[in-house]
Amino acid sequence: MYAAVIAGTDRIELCNDLSVGGVTPHHADIDEAGTLKGLKVNVLIRPRGGDFVYHESEIERMFYKIAYCANCGLNGVVIGALKQDGTVDLELCRELVSVARTYGLSVTFHRAIDETPDIFQALEDVIALGVDRVLTSGGAPTAWEGRETIKTMVAQAAGRTIILPGGGVTPENALALAEYTGVTELHGSRTSLVRAVRGITD
């Protein structure tokens, strides 16, 4: 987190265990994030790795973590859930968004959207939830490989939400990706990315 502040980014996604795509960080990390000044911190709300179909006990933990993040004064949360058929779990996600909004939190829908059978229908579903951003690689292993789909998603969203490319975004491809797709923000895990494209990185 401190490296991000030094590098000059204004927003980060806080998570643990990137080897499984990220999970919700420990309370100590969330507490520490709440002490940082001048940095908007969005916390990943994902109780475990693996699929995005959650059981009741996991869902209860998700609601608890949203409240915990709000009480720590953080900027927002990153959420997402799917049904057994791979489509967006609108009922659960609507509740997650509603709780987050009650606390005044920003909401990003994470890369669960890349696992859906129809990413364009999923985008419409997610837009209907009223999220601020949609983090996506365009359904591909990396955002660069999914750039054609991301470009289409940007056009489809038409300003109703921000399309945030993530997954394999590097200092070497960031500018080209932004120019090709028309996105205004990028999501990366390296502070060098911030220096490469200051102003459009997350």
pLDDT digits over 115-124, tens only? Answer: 999 999 999 9
| Residue 201 falls inside a structural domain | no
CA distance 32 to 11: 15
Residue 178: CATH number of its domain = 3.20.20.380
Q: Within 13 Å, how many C-alpha atoms sit on residue 173's CB side? A: 17
pLDDT confidence bin for 190, thresholds 50/70/90? low
Q: Where are the alpha helices (DSSP H) in 8-166?
A: 27-33, 56-71, 90-102, 119-129, 147-157
pLDDT greater than 70 at residue 194: no
CA distance 83 to 144: 27
CA distance 15 to 46: 9
| Residue 158 falls inside a structural domain | yes
- For residues 32-56, give the mean pLDDT: 93
41 sits in which H/E element = strand 40-44
For 135, list phi and psi in degrees, rounded to 5.
Answer: -85, 125
pLDDT at 202: 53
| Residue 103 falls inside a structural domain | yes
| Residue 23 falls inside a structural domain | yes
| Residue 54 falls inside a structural domain | yes
CA distance 33 to 18: 18
| Residue 202 falls inside a structural domain | no
Look up the domain containing 188 and give its range. Answer: 2-196
- For residues 159-173, give the mean pLDDT: 95
| Residue 48 falls inside a structural domain | yes
Q: Can you give the pTM of this predicted structure? A: 0.89
Among 160, 158, 154, 202, which residue's Cα sits nearest to residue 180? 154
| Residue 165 falls inside a structural domain | yes
CB atoms within 10 A of CB 40: 14
Average pLDDT value over all residues in the chain = 91
The phi-psi region of residue 73 (left if phi > 0; otherwise alpha if psi is between -120 and 50; otherwise beta) is left
Written as one letter, the residue type at 63 is F
> pLDDT tens across 94-148, in order?
999 999 999 999 999 999 999 999 999 999 999 999 999 999 999 999 999 999 9
CA distance 150 to 183: 9
- The number of folded domains in the chain is 1
CA distance 116 to 80: 11
